[in-house]
Amino acid sequence: MHILLVEDEPAIADIVLHALRAEGFEASHCLTGRDALALARSQAFDLAVLDVGLPDIGGFALCRELRRGRDLPVIFLTAHNAEAERILGLEIGGDDYVTKPFSPRELVARVRVVLRRLHHEAPAAASGFAHDVEGKRITFRRQLLDLTRYEYGLLAALLQRPGAVLSRVQLMDRVWGNALDSGDRTVDTHIKTLRAKLREVAPDLDPIRTHRGLGYSLEMDPREADPRGATRE
């Protein structure tokens, strides 16, 4: 597993890198957000550890940029008393956060937990679906779906995190990016058309779940619908 560490304090970075490598991880370090974006264009990472208070690009903005076109687990490093930062980090889709000062062993343990959780969830995405990432094609029950650009983006984002609830803001960031003519209702409209296309293949199934006030998720097994805590719309 290859970990990207973005931390502008070299002393902290050296300790974290040593801890990660001692546990068998490959780890790369960048001092700035711009360096991290450049490195991410040439290398693939399995998880990123981002300091929120970077000197050039804030950790939250960097998270959005790193996740464009791919799903990258992120752990934020925050100041000890920055409760607002921790809450915001989780709201924009951070998988975990660690407050400074922290134990390197605790951080490595949290890295393992996030990777293990995502690795455990990933096979469920294949239940009924097959995703050709390079060809940007998705099949459902062995039938190729005829999807628009944004329908494909939405379904791909949900497939990357089966069972996880993605908010409209998260979906907007991952699928529409900085499109100025888009809003929350755009997500709802495209979810509706996407559901219609899935029902054409399997009228008895509705794998996309609506979580009122929260967002959407993809059922880990579309044959086992559980209505608790979710609605069909």
C-alpha 27, offset from chain centre:
20
Residue of 178 and 79 predicted with greater confidence: 79
- Checking if the pLDDT of 64 tops 70, the result is yes
Query: Using 50, 70 and 90 to split pLDDT, how confident is the model at 166?
Result: confident
For residue 111, what pLDDT is reported?
93
Query: Using 50, 70 and 90 to split pLDDT, how confident is the model at 40?
Result: very high
Q: What is the mean pLDDT of the chain?
A: 82
Query: Using 50, 70 and 90 to split pLDDT, how confident is the model at 14?
Result: very high
What single DSSP character describes residue 70? Answer: S
Q: Which two tokens stand for residue 4?
A: 């990207």
For residue 178, what pLDDT is reported?
60
- Checking if the pLDDT of 53 tops 60, the result is yes
Q: Which of 120-124, 180-184, 199-203 has the lowest mean pLDDT?
A: 120-124
User: Residue 7: is it exposed, middle or buried by C-beta count within 10 angstroms (0-12/13-18/19+)?
Assistant: buried
- Checking if the pLDDT of 225 tops 60, the result is no
For residue 122, what pLDDT is reported?
45
For residue 162, what pLDDT is reported?
79
For residue 124, what pLDDT is reported?
41
Percent pLDDT > 90 in the chain is: 36
pTM of the model: 0.55
Q: Is 167 left (phi over 0), alpha (psi -120 to 50) or beta?
A: beta
Query: Using 50, 70 and 90 to split pLDDT, how confident is the model at 136?
Result: confident
Give dist(CA 202, CA 70) in Å, integer: 28
- Checking if the pLDDT of 95 tops 90, the result is no
Residue of 84 and 163 predicted with greater confidence: 163
Q: What is the mean pLDDT of residues 119-138?
A: 66
Q: What is the mean pLDDT of residues 49-74?
A: 87
Q: Which of 1-10, 17-26, 54-63, 75-84 has the lowest mean pLDDT?
A: 75-84
- Checking if the pLDDT of 6 tops 50, the result is yes
Query: Using 50, 70 and 90 to split pLDDT, how confident is the model at 89?
Result: low
Helices and strands, number each (H, E), in the chain: 8, 10
